[in-house]
């Protein structure tokens, strides 16, 4: 991606920044969660390493970027304000690209992004951080559901190869032999498959196509990117549009974040990566996170997405969207550094409570410990 007008805020409407209270209210409304109490305990996160937050540094942080992690950030912000009285993050959900640009331009303290820094962004971010590397810290994981509308079929199994051919238009009927082979004992109707994809630029689309590239490298020939490349089906704007299209279109299937699918009570397909069908649950998605590897050693935790999306381990649901918080490893002033560390520590501990209800996956304990090691190393 080419950086546009670095140092200038592009396309950011007035009044987008939300307070902790307002964002938390948005989260609970959008995701249907009734857990609005917050917590100072990390017991709901995963067992061990309940760290009490250091509450130093400045009271107000700013961040910008990914809409996919917006509702998780709201929960984190609520928890931060409860654990550290007076603390607040203003998060501007303008999209991953804008978040990276504004972080590099020193307009915000950190960025939320569905993709790690790459190419020229790596050097530009290091320049922004006073010559120190920026770190990609994967803090928020949201499973992607394969929501479908197929009368009389309560359980549907697919795999990467079938999905690739559906979204490229090569498999056109629900009773196609390739689908039937994965669904022994299920009567599949002789009706047209109607794929639904995101018509807007989308990190979910990018990661869905990366999944297809990793899980079905021979079948998926279109590459990745935030614009849908498959060429089959009908497009819909944003996650809410995909949900509406699947609800209203018999024979349809679309990819959408679990929280949206759950709220709409859509049925989601199981994925068979070679070790048997796996339903989308918090546990099966958490196993995918545990199986993921990092691209390199050290405190920059950019993920090797092939290890996530290409997993063939039993019980793993591999289609999980990883979103990052991009921070300076060094180069902040002391007050900002302390506040960033405080926010991220609370997010990884107390902030994990309620994530499952909001459609995200609470961090598995081993992964959380690795993340906190990097957070603690921010200077």
68 annotated binding-site participant: yes
114 annotated binding-site participant: yes
Total domains, the chain: 2
Question: Is a pLDDT exceeding 90 seen at residue 18?
Answer: no
**Band (37; pLDDT cuts 50, 70, 90):** very low
342 annotated binding-site participant: no
Q: Are residues 161 and 36 in the same domain?
A: no
Q: Are residues 109 and 155 in the same domain?
A: no
Q: Are residues 155 and 169 in the same domain?
A: yes
CA atoms of 112 and 363, how far apart (whole Å):
17
> Is residue 216 in some structural domain?
yes
3-state SS string for 98-131: HHHHHHHCCCCCEEEECCCCCCHHHHHHHHHCCC
Domain containing 161 equals 143-286
67 annotated binding-site participant: yes
Q: Are residues 52 and 175 in the same domain?
A: no
Predicted pLDDT at 29: 33
> Is residue 126 in some structural domain?
yes
Question: Is a pLDDT exceeding 70 seen at residue 3?
Answer: no
With a CB cutoff of 8 Å and minimum separation 6, the contacts of 93 are 16, 64, 65, 66, 67, 70, 112
Cα dihedral 275, 281, 282, 283 sign: negative
Per the prediction, the chain carries an average pLDDT of 87
204 annotated binding-site participant: yes
202 annotated binding-site participant: yes
Task: Give the CA-trace dihedral at 336, 340, 343, 346, to 10 degrees.
Answer: -130
Query: Residue 282 sits in a domain of what CATH number?
Result: 3.40.190.10
Predicted pLDDT at 201: 81
Q: Are residues 153 and 271 in the same domain?
A: yes
Q: Are residues 253 and 212 in the same domain?
A: yes
Q: What is the pLDDT of residues 171-226, one digit of tens each?
A: 999 999 999 999 999 999 999 999 999 998 888 898 999 999 999 999 999 999 88
Please report, rounded to a whole number, the percentage of residues in the chain having pLDDT higher than 90.
78
> Is residue 6 in some structural domain?
no
Q: Are residues 282 and 298 in the same domain?
A: no
Q: Are residues 238 and 357 in the same domain?
A: no
Q: Are residues 280 and 258 in the same domain?
A: yes
């Amino acid at each position: 991606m080419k950086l546009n007008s670095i140092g200038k805020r592009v396309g950011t409407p007035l009044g987008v920044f939300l307070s902790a209270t307002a964002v938390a209210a948005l989260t609970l409304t959008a995701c249907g969660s009734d857990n609005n109490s917050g917590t100072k305990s990390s017991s709901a996160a995963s067992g061990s390493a309940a760290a009490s937050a250091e509450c130093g540094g400045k009271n107000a942080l700013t961040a910008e970027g990914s809409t996919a992690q917006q509702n998780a950030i709201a929960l984190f912000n609520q928890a931060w304000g409860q654990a550290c009285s007076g603390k607040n993050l203003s998060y501007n959900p303008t999209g991953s690209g804008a978040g990276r640009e504004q972080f590099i331009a020193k307009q915000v303290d950190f960025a939320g992004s569905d993709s790690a820094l790459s190419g020229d962004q790596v050097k530009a971010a290091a320049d922004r951080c006073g010559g120190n590397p920026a770190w990609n810290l994967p803090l928020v994981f949201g499973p992607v559901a394969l929501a479908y509308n197929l009368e009389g079929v309560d359980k549907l199994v697919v795999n990467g190869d079938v999905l690739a051919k559906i979204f490229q238009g090569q498999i056109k009927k629900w009773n196609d032999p390739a689908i039937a082979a994965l669904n022994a004992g299920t009567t599949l109707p002789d009706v047209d498959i109607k794929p639904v994809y995101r018509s807007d630029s989308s990190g979910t689309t990018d990661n869905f196509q990366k999944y297809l590239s990793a899980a079905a490298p021979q079948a998926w020939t279109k590459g990745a990117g935030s614009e849908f490349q498959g060429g089959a089906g009908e497009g819909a704007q944003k996650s809410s549009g995909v949900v509406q299209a699947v609800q209203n279109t018999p024979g349809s299937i679309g990819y959408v974040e679990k929280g949206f699918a759950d709220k709409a009570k859509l049925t989601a397909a199981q994925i068979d990566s070679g070790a048997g069908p796996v339903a989308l649950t918090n546990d099966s998605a958490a196993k995918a996170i545990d199986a993921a590897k990092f691209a390199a050693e050290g405190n920059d935790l950019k993920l090797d997405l092939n290890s996530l999306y290409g997993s063939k381990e039993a019980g793993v649901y591999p289609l999980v969207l990883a979103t990052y918080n991009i921070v300076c490893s060094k180069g902040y002033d002391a007050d900002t550094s302390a506040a960033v560390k405080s926010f991220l520590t609370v997010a990884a501990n107390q902030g994990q409570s309620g994530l499952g209800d909001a459609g995200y996956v609470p961090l598995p304990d081993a992964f959380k410990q690795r993340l906190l090691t990097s957070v603690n190393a921010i200077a």
